[in-house]
Structures are given as C-alpha cells and as structure tokens.
Amino acid sequence: MNQWEKVAAVQRMQDYIRSHIDEEIKLCDIAEASGYSLRHAVRIFKELLGRTPSDYIRAIRLTDGAKNLLRSKENVLDIAFDTHFDTHEGFIRAFSSEFGITPQKYRREKPPVKYFVQYPIKHYYSYLNSKEEENMEKENLITLCTVSIVERPKIKLLLMRAKKAQDYWSFCEECGCDWEGLFNSIECRLDNAAILELPEKLITDGTTNCAAGVEIPFNYEGKIPEGCDCIDLPECSMMYFQSEPFENEDDFGKAIDSVCKAIENYNPQQYGFDYAFELAPKYNYGASKEMGARQAVSVKRL
C-alpha cells in the first residue's frame, strides 16, 4: 500500500465522518468507507491524522458543543445529548480533557480554546505533490478576483510567531495546525484567523516574517493564549482580493495561487492607491470551495 493509497483511504474516512457526524457512527462503517479492514483502517487513520477515528469524532463533537455553549442558551445536559454524549458527567470530563476547562466555566469566561478543525488530508499531500512537479498546469488557475477597499480602524492583533517557517504549510509543520481553531474560538474576533506575512517593523528577534493571527477589537481585555503576542495596529486602508468559488476541493491551492498572482499583477495606482506592505501584515485567509480564496494587503492613498 503506497502513500497515496493511504491518503485516499483516510480521505474517504474523513468524508464519511463529515457526512454522518450528526448520526451514530460505527467504526465498522468507517472502515468500510476506507475499503480496508477495521484494524488497518484505524492504523492508517491514526498514522496520518494523529488521532484514532473515535478521538477524531469526539474532537469534532466537542468543538460543536463548545460553539453551542456560546451561541445558544441550552443547558449543558442538552448540549451533551446534542453532541452524542450519553451523560452530563461524560460530556464534562471529555470537554475538560479536550479544552482544559469545564463547560460551565467556558460559557462564563469565553477564553480562547483550541477548536478542532477538520483539515482534509489530501490537501496537504496534494500540496507536497505539486511542489515536486516542476511544470504545473497554469491554464487551470482561477483568474477572476474581486477587489475591495476597507478602511480599518485601530485594532489589536493576536499572533503566534514562527521561528523558521516561511509559509502556511511550513508554519503548520513547525507550530501545528491548532492555531486556526484557537484563534477562531475568540467570539469577538473581527475576521477569521489568517496566516500573516509581517512587515519588518513587526518581526522580533529569533522569528521570521511568518505568523498566524487574528484581528480583535482594540479594547480586547480577554486571555492571551500561551505562546502568543498581542500588538496594536494603527488604522489603515486594506485592499481585499477574493477569488471565485470553485467546484473541486482539490483546487484550493490553485485558488490561493491565483489570488497571489492577482496581487502581483494588479495596479492599484490606477485607482489612486499604492501597496504599502510596510504598514501592516499581509493576510492569507486560505480558501474554501464555497467562498473562494481571500487575501488582504495594506495600501495608502497617492
């Protein structure tokens, strides 16, 4: 069984779990989706994703439960049942183990916690494969982007710095992928979490220009997660580039590449602006087939 066969089998299991997360999920059904025996399916799932299928499902449901604690007024017992836990006590134990805080305290204090994010395993391996191919098919890149100007007020930026990473994938390899769930768990955030390209003035000793972060209100007084910094950013103009939605999930990398190319080729001067990368970080919000890819750069008026 080669690596790509493993990736395809684990992706089939991820897809099955995503489609049936609101139902009772049996390990035998997950294994059947993979096309392999139960023992082999569980082994390769943990090998590539770092969790057993049962732990993976539990993390998804606990994250859903955490979101419901903040978004609804349901009592903890009802949320436990909604997330397929049989008892109130079992939910509290599992929740505390996953997030390091009880459900009641989490609802009351709303601290950042590490929401579990379901990253399709084929995305990472597709990226690695594309890096090995010297001649990618450029004609299939998504080329249409919308461009918008947003006047951003003074804000705070919560960020996690890299010591060696230079881009999204190397950042995840160095720091893990929990940053997205962690930052997106902050209820008052102004936008989704993003990979950042920092201007020189925001780089600290021993770190690179690559970081992950999220914008939060200037009056934020909540908890700063361990290993993170919180800095002030002055008001500025931001130019947002967004690609079209795309049908094939595997095209997420092409969508991101197309936005990067659009930023390189776009001439903001024709509309009275110029790029000002020194003023603020460049934001890469990633891509989804429903929304397309999105990035933002700072600009100044001519």
pLDDT in tens, 5-53: 999 999 999 999 999 999 999 999 999 999 999 999 999 999 999 999 9
77-119 residue pLDDT tens? 999 999 999 999 999 999 999 999 999 999 999 999 999 999 8
Domain boundaries, the chain: 3-109, 138-301
Transcribe 35-97 into DSSP letters: TS-HHHHHHHHHHHHSS-HHHHHHHHHHHHHHHHHHH----HHHHHHHTT-S-HHHHHHHHHH
277-291 residue pLDDT tens? 999 999 999 998 889
Q: Do 281 and 198 touch, CB atoms closer than 8 A? A: yes
Domain 138-301: CATH class, spelled out = alpha beta
Structural tokens at position 140:
């299939």
Task: Give the model's pLDDT for residue 239.
Answer: 97
Buried b (16+ CB within 10 A) or exposed e, 249-261: eebbbbbbbbbeb
* DSSP 8-state symbol, 244: P
Q: Do 155 and 215 touch, CB atoms closer than 8 A? A: yes
* DSSP 8-state symbol, 176: -
Architecture in CATH of 3-109: Orthogonal Bundle (1.10)
Q: What's the predicted TM-score (pTM) here?
A: 0.85
